[in-house]
């Protein structure tokens, strides 16, 4: 340890390369789990630098795999790095890193989708939501198969200020397929504008900070990879419950090539669909002939606010499921057909 009052800089001792670790422990990427290893430490260092100043930070890394980004995080002079890895094959290699960085690396063999991080770091790190972000960061090279459900889960956590966000406006730096990264950051009217764009942007400042060519990964994925940085907003751009916003946005983008009234109509039962959809759009002051991709976050704010009032007036409205109604109608039609067939006999 450095003397009190001086800054100590930690560097990992010489270690086998990531490629050597993969050979040593006979690791192979599992295609079904969409695993891709990033072996170039210059690139992992770049990802970590893009996450911001990690000096004395507490970092939660998801999906560390053989430990490429893990090394770069440890070399960024963090106070503690917590890694959660589901695949037991990677634990011995991560343990080697832990032995090389005494007291700095904590390994959890578990699933990021269910792991509870609320009590993982000291209470003293917590900041008020209105304050600057806490010195807590989430970083990860996510398997493509879990990246979208995981970011949706974390966005709901942002909305509720729980999970990783009990500490405050925890920043996230995560990898996605380039196409998903472009959706997350897509502006109003762009071809990539989607449900993900709105759900991320109403809660966070979202930046596509880096694109990594697929050839940098082993095995090489069919697509390039985008690195996206999220900083939760002090105040969401839509102040309604997450599930309500998600419901409105999902329905709007259901028929993305049609006018927005088509998808938004699915919020309402068939018998009142035309009337209620017109009411929703009129009160929200939204042009029914806009395409879903042309709807801004402000448009969605108005739509969600009006839809909330309509749900308050009719509590059954929020539980309505047009697919369930469609299924019931098909079943009734089938029964009628069967009755007709029996009557002919």
Cβ atoms of residues 172 and 203 within 8 Å: no
Residue the block writes with tokens 């996450």: 51
Where does residue 231 rank: exposed (0-12), middle (13-18), buried (19+ CB within 10 A)? middle
SS3 content of the chain, % helix, strand, coil (to 5): 45, 15, 40
Average pLDDT of 237-256? 97
Ranges of each domain in the chain: 18-232, 242-328
Per-residue model confidence (pLDDT) at position 5: 41
Which residue shows structure tokens 């990898």?
Answer: 175
| Non-local CB neighbours of 190 within 8 Å, separated by 6+ positions | 293
Burial 268-307 (b: 16+ CB within 10 A, else e): beeeebeebbeebbeebebeeebbbbebbbebbbbbbbbb
Is 66 exposed, middle or buried (CB count within 10 Å of its CB: 0-12, 13-18, 19+)?
buried
Q: Is the pTM of this model over 0.85?
A: yes
**What confidence tens digit (pLDDT) does each residue in 96-145 have?**
999 999 999 999 999 988 999 998 999 999 999 999 999 999 999 888 88
Tell whether residue 111 is among the known ligand binding residues: yes
Return d(Cα 200, Cα 155) in angstroms, integer.
7
pLDDT at 6: 42
DSSP 2: P
- Which residue bears the tokens 């406006």? 169
Q: Which CATH architecture has domain 242-328?
A: Orthogonal Bundle (1.10)
Q: What is the DSSP string of 122-175?
A: -GGG---TTSSPPSEEEEE---HHHHHHHHHHHHHHHHHT-GGGGGSS-EEEEE
85 is annotated as contributing to ligand binding: yes
The predicted pLDDT at position 9 comes to: 76
Q: Is 38 annotated among the ligand-binding residues?
A: yes
Task: For residue 132, say whether it is annotated as part of any ligand binding site.
Answer: no
Tokens of 52: 């911001």
Instruction: Give the rounded percent of residues in the chain with a pLDDT score beyond 70.
Output: 89
Q: Check: CB of residue 114 under 8 Å from CB of residue 150.
A: no
Q: Return the SS3 of 183.
A: helix
Of 141, 139, 299, residue with least CA distance to 216 = 141
Here the tokens at position 48 are 């970590």
For residue 250, what is the DSSP state?
A: H
Q: How confident is the model at residue 325 (pLDDT cuts 50, 70, 90)?
A: confident
Please give the average per-residue pLDDT across 316-343, as a whole number: 77
Whether residue 30 has pLDDT greater than 60:
no
Indicate if the alpha-carbon torsion angle 15, 13, 211, 256 is positive or negative. positive
Mean pLDDT of the chain, nearest integer: 90
Residue with tokens 């009234």: 261
Alpha helices in the chain, H assignment, sequence order: 18-24, 41-50, 68-74, 91-100, 144-160, 178-185, 195-201, 242-252, 260-264, 273-284, 297-313, 322-344
Cβ atoms of 228 and 173 closer than 8 Å: yes
**Beta strand pairing status for 217-218 and 58-62?**
unpaired
Task: Using the structure block, give the residue that is written with the tokens 């308050």.
Answer: 312
> What are the residues facing 136 on neighbouring strands?
58
Query: What length does the chain have?
Result: 345
CATH superfamily to which 18-232 belongs:
Vaccinia Virus protein VP39 (3.40.50.150)
Instruction: With cut-offs at 50, 70 and 90, classify the pLDDT of residue 152.
Output: very high
Please calculate the CA angle 164-50-114 and round it to the nearest 5 degrees.
25
* Per-residue confidence (pLDDT) for residue 339, from 0 to 100: 59
For residues 52 and 37, the model is more confident at 52
For the record, the structure tokens of 246 come out as 């998600």
pLDDT (mean) for 30-56: 83
């Amino acid at each position: 340890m450095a003397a009190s009052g001086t800054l100590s800089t930690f560097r990992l001792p010489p270690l086998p390369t990531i490629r050597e670790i993969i050979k040593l422990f006979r690791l192979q990427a599992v295609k079904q789990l969409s695993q891709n290893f990033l072996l170039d430490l210059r690139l992992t260092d770049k990802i970590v630098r893009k996450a911001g100043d990690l000096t004395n930070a507490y970092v939660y890394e998801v999906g560390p795999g053989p430990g490429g980004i893990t090394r770069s995080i440890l070399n960024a002079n963090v106070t503690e790095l917590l890694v959660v890895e589901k695949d037991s094959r990677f634990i011995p290699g991560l343990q080697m890193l832990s032995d090389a960085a005494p007291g700095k690396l904590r390994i959890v063999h578990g699933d990021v989708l269910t792991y509870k991080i609320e009590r993982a770091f000291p209470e003293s790190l917590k900041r008020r939501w209105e304050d600057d972000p806490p010195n807590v960061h989430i970083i990860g090279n996510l398997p493509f198969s879990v990246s979208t459900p995981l970011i949706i889960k974390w966005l709901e956590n942002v909305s509720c200020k729980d999970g990783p966000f009990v500490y405050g406006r925890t920043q996230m730096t995560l990898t996605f397929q380039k196409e998903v990264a472009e959706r997350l950051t897509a502006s109003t009217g762009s071809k990539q504008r989607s449900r993900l764009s709105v759900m991320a942007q109403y809660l966070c400042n979202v930046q596509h900070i880096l694109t990594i060519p697929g050839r940098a990964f082993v095995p090489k994925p069919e697509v390039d990879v985008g690195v996206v940085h999220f900083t939760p907003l002090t105040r969401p751009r839509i102040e309604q419950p997450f599930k309500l916003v998600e419901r409105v946005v999902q329905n709007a983008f259901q028929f993305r090539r049609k006018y927005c009234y088509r998808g938004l109509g699915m919020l309402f039962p068939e018998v009142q669909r035309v009337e209620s959809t017109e009411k929703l759009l009129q009160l929200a002051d939204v042009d029914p002939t806009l395409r879903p991709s042309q709807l801004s976050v402000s448009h969605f704010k108005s739509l969600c606010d009006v839809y909330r009032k309509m749900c308050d007036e009719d509590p059954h409205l929020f539980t309505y499921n047009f697919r369930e109604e469609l299924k019931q109608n098909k079943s009734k039609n089938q029964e009628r057909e069967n009755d007709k067939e029996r009557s002919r006999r």
